[in-house]
């Protein structure tokens, strides 16, 4: 599978904003994927999603999904955990109807709990989610995301452990979050290569053939992520990320979450193409 570049949601330059028009415009711009952003709530109905699927297939655009931000599988309140799972399931059902390949989400907060206890809680809830999805015939990947703050569950190691424990669960690697979580320390070729090496070691080479990833500029501090910023305004070593992806022959979807979506996605795709040509 080749590496496809795309945007987190509808490109800003679309004149009449809709998911279908966003897909068509991304295809015209030469991109290969788009993430459906259900980060506030899932408003799309499954019937509409089926029409989105038709357009995406016609245009050759592959889709991923981001579930709502309001998810905490480690909440002390059972009703909040149940509501979190319902949000993920709703995003999964609509995403699957739209033909999406992968669904990502931020799994939990640590609070003041022991990190191993949080892991076991998230593992239990994700097993239940995966079982429900499998029973409903939803074959899309379920991908907890690497998170951008030390208060959030979602280190590379944690998500790899989940992926080893539950079939159909894989990582969504947000390279910008890795940088932010480390207060800027995780930002070299060797750092990014170590992530792919860990995935290869624990999940096998096939896991690198179909990766779901996020990359953009990011502002951060000692507490981690503050906000996404345009690539030219950030110190994100995105060229090193792209070189690593090229060297490891990574396939899948690289989603840009920048405030200037298609502009920075173009920077990423153009840089990747240049790196490819440099090697030939």
| 105 pLDDT tier (thresholds 50, 70, 90) | very high
What is the domain extent for residue 186?
Answer: 3-278
| 116 pLDDT tier (thresholds 50, 70, 90) | very high
**For the chain, what percent of residues have pLDDT higher than 70?**
100
The mean pLDDT of the chain is 97
Is the pLDDT reported for residue 280 higher than 90?
no
Tell me the pLDDT tens digit for each residue of 65-94: 999 999 999 999 999 999 999 999 999 999
pLDDT at 125 (0 to 100): 98
Is the pLDDT reported for residue 22 higher than 80?
yes
Query: What is the pTM assigned to this prediction?
Result: 0.97
pLDDT at 26 (0 to 100): 98
Instruction: Give me 234's structure tokens.
Output: 């950030």
**For the chain, what percent of residues have pLDDT higher than 90?**
98
**Structural domain tally of the chain?**
1
CATH number of the domain that residue 155 is part of: 3.20.20.150
pLDDT at 279 (0 to 100): 82
pLDDT at 254 (0 to 100): 98
Rounded CA-CA distance 113/119 in Å is 10
Is the pLDDT reported for residue 1 higher than 80?
no
pLDDT at 161 (0 to 100): 98
Tell me the pLDDT tens digit for each residue of 191-241: 999 999 999 999 999 999 999 999 999 999 999 999 999 999 999 999 999
| 166 pLDDT tier (thresholds 50, 70, 90) | very high
Tell me the pLDDT tens digit for each residue of 33-69: 999 999 899 999 999 999 999 999 999 999 999 999 9
């Amino acid at each position: 599978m080749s590496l496809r570049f795309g945007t987190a949601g509808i490109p800003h330059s679309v004149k009449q904003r809709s998911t279908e028009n966003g897909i068509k415009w991304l295809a015209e711009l030469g991109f290969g994927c788009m993430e459906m952003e259900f980060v506030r709530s899932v408003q799309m109905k499954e019937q509409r999603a089926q029409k989105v699927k038709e357009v995406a297939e016609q245009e050759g655009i592959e889709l991923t999904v981001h579930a709502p931000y309001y998810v905490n599988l480690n909440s002390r309140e059972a009703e909040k955990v149940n509501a979190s799972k319902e949000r993920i399931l709703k995003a999964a059902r609509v995403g699957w109807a739209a033909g999406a390949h992968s669904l990502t989400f931020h799994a939990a907060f640590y609070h003041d709990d022991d990190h191993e206890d949080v892991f076991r809680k998230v593992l239990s809830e994700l097993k239940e989610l995966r079982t429900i999805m499998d029973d409903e015939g939803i074959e899309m990947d379920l991908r907890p995301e690497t998170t951008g703050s030390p208060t959030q569950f979602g280190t590379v190691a944690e998500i790899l452990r989940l992926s080893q424990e539950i079939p159909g669960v894989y990582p969504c690697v947000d390279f910008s979050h890795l940088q932010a979580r480390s207060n800027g320390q995780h930002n070299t070729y060797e750092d990014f290569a170590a992530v792919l090496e860990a995935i290869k070691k624990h999940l096998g080479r096939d896991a690198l053939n179909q990766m779901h990833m996020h990359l953009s500029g990011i502002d951060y501090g000692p507490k981690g992520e503050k906000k996404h910023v345009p690539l030219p305004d950030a110190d994100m070593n995105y060229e090193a990320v792209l070189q690593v992806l090229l060297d490891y022959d990574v396939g899948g979807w690289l989603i840009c979450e920048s405030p200037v979506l298609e502009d920075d996605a173009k920077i990423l795709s153009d840089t990747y193409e240049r790196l490819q040509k440099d090697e030939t």
